Structure 1
Amino acid sequence: MTKPGLVYITGASSGIGQALAQHYYQRGWSLALVARRTQVIEQWAQSVGMDEQRYAVYEADVSLIDSACHAGQACLERQGLPDIVIANAGISWGVDTSLREDLDVMQQVLACNTMGLAASFQPFITPMVVRGSGRLVGICSVAGIRGLPGHAAYSASKAAAISYCESLRVELQKTGVSVTSLLPGYIDTPLTQNNPYPMHFLLTSPEFARRACRVIERKARYVVIPWQMGIAGRVMRMLPAWIWDKVTQGKTRKPRYLKKD
């Protein structure tokens, strides 16, 4: 395995981000952890006994471009240039496009899951190219392969993230900087625990982190985790539109996002 260095992870306060942080820490890496809820990260890091010399926490809302970019710049100034950047922060909210208020929800999902991913990478691209090495990892989703009922915002945002990562990958060819599109299937996190439909091949967050680390280590271009969902994804991609419509007809929709007071 590559000698431990510095890994930068957005959305590190829970779920996949937290699991990735713990996985890398246990393997000797230093951490740059980004989230809106920095106090949650600090409390968690202390509860698991992390060495304060091996991690730093940065507050950012990646749906705000300047906020995401400023966090990256702060990392460069405080900890230096990461070896790995994992753009993990994301939200999964159901929408109904027939309702005006849900357009605002959709805009927020796109801002976080697509623009937030790009803004998380931006501060590090030029320094990595100058150095001649680095790994950029976009956490996308199987939901970005085809549109799913109630997932209009999420599927659109993740489809855009997949295409964005591919574009960036081909742009950075021969620079020494790799770009990985990582597509989780169903992972047991706060984002999925209230889904009202079966979640096939469900993985725990720690198990996903273990598999993701192997993928990132080998600088894979495009990987679905778990592999069973990779097969499902290939089938989904190949199905003609009329068959896909029949397959999804009557399926339970993702519930609308209802903002809590």
Structure 2
Amino acid sequence: MNFVSRGLWIVGGLGLALAACAPKRVAPVQNYSLGLSRAGYRDYAAAKANICDAEPRWLTDELSAMNGLMEGFLSSTEQAKNPNSVDHGRHMELLKEASGSLGKVLDVHQANLRALQKCGFAKSGAFPQLGQRGQELVEQSRTRLTEGGELLALQEAQRKWQEEAPQREQTARQTWCAKTEVGSTDVFYARQFADGRTEWLFCDGHVVQSAAAAGSEPTLVSPEGLSAKDRRKVKPPKYLEAARGYPPEEVDKQPTLGGNSAPAHSSDASGE
């Protein structure tokens, strides 16, 4: 071996040795909080680190913690669709909190689970179960976030409807109530709440109310302070008949999931 060849051999050997001794990239731990849940995770892809270089026991703990956080998120938002649940408000708040942050964390966790499959230890210990369960939870959590976005948008639409309802009612009254004589049975405005309750408002101050329960009979509510003379003018069957005859398409409906996203009519189209 001549001097040049020997030198190249030495340099090449040193290069391999240095490469073998090069420090492995380490992904820093990122802490994520959602409601009362906490979990630490690592973004191996962003750190250009190899998840297969991670200590298996630590990696097991990290993946388990993230799976647990998703399970908590799903169980703590399952009543968001049920406005009658005592947990509805709390579950909606958690959905709102998650809407701005959880999606990015799910992306990282899913990428880690996919990268895990290339590791030599991927089929050992708890990793197979962690990987399968993790993928299921990621998909379920994404679906819940999508549903949550729709629910939050609906909540805002319902709030706006409720806030603007008095003005629509007042405008309708000014438009349609040329006379307010007791017993006239002129409907000027009707509204239906998201829970199914319906009200028909009459120019003389009477209101016909229908409960949310299907098949419930509507009732007539008289304004306070009616004189004996005016009470004799009130014929409840006529008010109920006027309410039943009010055009359904003219009812101001509060938005519902999968239903109307705005009032059914403009404020100057109310009445008969």
Looking at CA atoms only, which structure, 1 or 2, has the larger radius of gyration?
Answer: 2
TM-score (norm 2): 0.23
TM-score (norm 1): 0.24
User: Could you say which structure has the greater relative contact order, defined with CA pairs below 8 angstroms and 6 or more residues apart?
Assistant: 1
More strand as a share of residues = 1
